[in-house]
């Protein structure tokens, strides 16, 4: 993982402000803006964990799903030559281009 923190299935981005000499980040993959910061890595991690725990508690109180929902569809932009090769590969496999892309993503995610 690069520049990310993980806690209870939540992911937090990590950045550094040279002006403030402070680490900061936000919880990713949610519909709200929840940020955290710390002067040291230990402070940053604690602030992230606290932010996640507070956010979970808030979502429970208002009876709301904490994670952003995903529709299962998205646009992918690739170079035309790769698109052509992928379409041909899908045809030769007897599957749709969507199925080929899904298989490729599953392979990348499940077999890192």
The stretches of the chain forming alpha helices (DSSP H) are 41-61, 80-93, 97-110
The stretches of 6-40 forming alpha helices (DSSP H) are none
The per-residue pLDDT string of the chain (112 residues; one tens digit each, 9 = 90 and over) reads 578 999 999 999 999 999 999 999 999 999 999 999 999 999 999 999 999 999 999 999 999 999 998 889 999 999 999 999 999 999 999 999 999 999 999 999 998 6
Structure tokens at 26: 């936000």
Say what the pLDDT of residue 66 is: 94
- Residues 6 or more apart whose Cβ sits within 8 Å of residue 98: none
Say what the pLDDT of residue 70 is: 86
Span 41-55, pLDDT tens digits: 999 999 999 999 999
Domain map (residue ranges) of the chain: 4-61, 80-110
Compute the 3-state secondary structure of the chain and give helix, strand, coil in percent, each to the nearest 5: 45, 20, 35
């Amino acid at each position: 993982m690069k520049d990310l923190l993980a806690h209870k299935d939540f992911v937090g981005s990590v950045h550094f402000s040279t002006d403030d000499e402070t680490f900061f980040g936000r919880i990713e993959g949610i519909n709200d803006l929840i940020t955290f910061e710390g002067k040291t890595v230990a402070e940053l991690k604690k602030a992230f964990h606290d932010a996640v725990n507070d956010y979970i508690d808030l979502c429970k109180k208002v009876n709301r799903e904490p994670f952003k929902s995903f529709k299962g569809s998205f646009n992918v932009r690739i170079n035309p030559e790769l698109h052509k090769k992928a379409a041909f590969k899908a045809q030769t496999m007897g599957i749709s281009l969507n199925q080929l892309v899904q298989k490729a993503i599953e392979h990348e995610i499940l077999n890192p």
